[in-house]
Structure 1
Amino acid sequence: MKEAKITTKSSDNLSELVYQRIKNDIFDFKLMPGERFTESEVAKAYEVSRTPIRQALYRLQQEGYVDVSFRSGWQIRPLNFRYYEELYDVRIVLEKDSIRKLCQIDHHNSVELSVLKDLWLVEPDAYLKDIKQLSQQDEDFHCALVRASGNNEMARIHRDLSERIRIIRRLDFSKDYRVEATYQEHQKILGFIFERQTEQAINAIEAHIMQSRDEVKKITLQMLDSSQFY
């Protein structure tokens, strides 16, 4: 585990900073799926005491990112494809319902759709090249679609779901062809929404999510086979 000192002016938010840092390291695969470690190792790497480390780890355990064993200590939870496929199934249900609603609203009054139009209906030379930034913008695209549908509770559930998927979702853009494909698929989805072609929009969002899911699974299996996770 590489050193990554955490500094803060207040001890009150130290645990939160540690929590965010560990979670980001998991999402960025600096802490690998299946990797084992102790609280002391993390405390030394981050140059903080064990108390905020322990608080952050128990919080991450509740959220399903790490496991703990009395004998072997802490472990980054190994990737479980069945778990992620179930999350993707729920995501499809939420986004299809949101798309159906979006095809019925007044698009001129939707700030969310206006922003998405400016970000995604662009020429190829304006496509984002930074993978991490693009991955976040892709997640924001889907969250914005759900928010724009007007159901705040659905948006909250979808936001939590998106965060759980994020750890593997970022891999979708590790292949160059997925960048162009994602822009084209998002443009098609938005086009159907603006034209109020409900069934076409629903079919497009489902196909888009399933394609992303399958690509991520394929890439992850390739990384596992080449021992890049262990």
Structure 2
Amino acid sequence: MNNPQVNYETAAEYVYRAIKKDIFTKKLKAGQRLPEAAIAKELQVSRTPVREALRKLANEGLVIITPNAGARLVSPSLQEINDAFELRNYLEQLAIAKAIHKITPLQICRLEEAIEEEERIFERKDLEDYLRINIQFHHIIAEATGNSLLVEYVDNVLSRIYVFMVFYESFFDFDTNPSLDEHRELVKAFKLRDKKLAQKLMEHHILHSAEALKVE
């Protein structure tokens, strides 16, 4: 890999994107160490931008930095994953209850547009972009509640869960994506203002997402 002749900020971004690409393409595995010196040598940069890139990845929940031990990729336990999905289900059920009669035609349109984008992204197998549009879909539902604190909590738990998906999800191994149809059915339930149906669909959707994780 060629050394970019760029300033410090761009060098840090270069390292950040390189490491993140290796994470999303599963070249790097959960729990793997990320030694600064080795990364700097491989990418032909100094250790300073490597350190900055690792801090940025830590802020996103992908990396853990331990004093005197260095950086490594996260390696969540099965209990941590189960706890996160349990919390997600609780928060998203609450979001539906509060949003079902408040969601606007514009927000429903945004949900439909997100599904269309999700379908296009799935076809090109871009995991990072796919997770981004997934978060956006669920964010719109939370946003429709009008409760900014609930939106923040939903976003936080989704960010945590999508870190798990980066390491343990394998849906790109398949030709079809059941999540697309699940999202479409959710939108239909919102159009009907059917809280019970929407909550049942969301619970199934979350359960399906949890079952798709292959934790070793």
What's the CA shift string for 1:36-84, capped at 9, x where partnerless? 24211111222221122223334545646224474x6432232422222
Call closer, same or farther: CA 1:64–1:168 in 2, change over 3 Å.
closer
Structure 1 equivalent of residue 157 of structure 2: 161
Residues 40-49 or 197-206, more deviating? 40-49
**What TM-score do you get using the length of structure 2 for normalisation?**
0.78
Q: How does 1:18-57 map to 2 (within 5 A)?
A: 18-19=15-16, 21-57=18-54
Match of 1:204 among 182, 201, 205: 201
Aligned partners of 1:6 and 1:138: how far apart in 2? 33
Deviations 1:107-129 (A, max 9, x none): 22xx332121244379xx97942
Unpaired stretches in structure 1, ≥5 consecutive residues: 225-230
TM-superposed deviation, 1:136: 3.5
The total of aligned residue pairs comes to 210
How many percent identity over aligned positions? 22
TM-score of the two chains, using structure 1 as the length reference: 0.74
Q: Cα–Cα, structure 1 residues 5 and 99, in superposed 2: closer, same or farther, change >3 Å?
A: farther
1:173 matches 2:171: yes
Aligned to 1:215: 212
Distance 1:152 1:164 in 2: 19
Instruction: Report deviation, 1:153.
Output: 2.6
Q: State the match for 1:112 in structure 2.
A: 107
2:63 to 52, 62, 65: 65
Q: Distance in 2 between matches of 1:119 and 1:61?
A: 28
* Counterpart residue type for residue 168 of structure 1: F
> What is the alpha-carbon distance in structure 1 between the residues aligned to residue 114 and residue 57 of structure 2?
33
Q: Distance in 2 between matches of 1:191 and 1:178?
A: 20
Please name the residue that 2:93 is paired with: 96
Residue 77 of structure 2 aligns with an amino acid whose one-letter code is N
Q: In the aligned structure 2, how far is the partner of 1:129 from the partner of 1:89?
A: 30
CA contact (8 A) 1:26 1:167 kept: no
Question: 1:5, 1:47 within 8 Å by CA — same for their partners in 2?
Answer: yes
What value does the CA root-mean-square deviation take over the aligned residues?
A: 3.1
Distance 1:86 1:206 in 2: 15
Question: 1:154 offset after TM fit, Å?
Answer: 2.3
Amino acid at match of 2:64: V
Q: Which of residues 64, 73, 78 in structure 1 aligns to 2:75?
A: 78
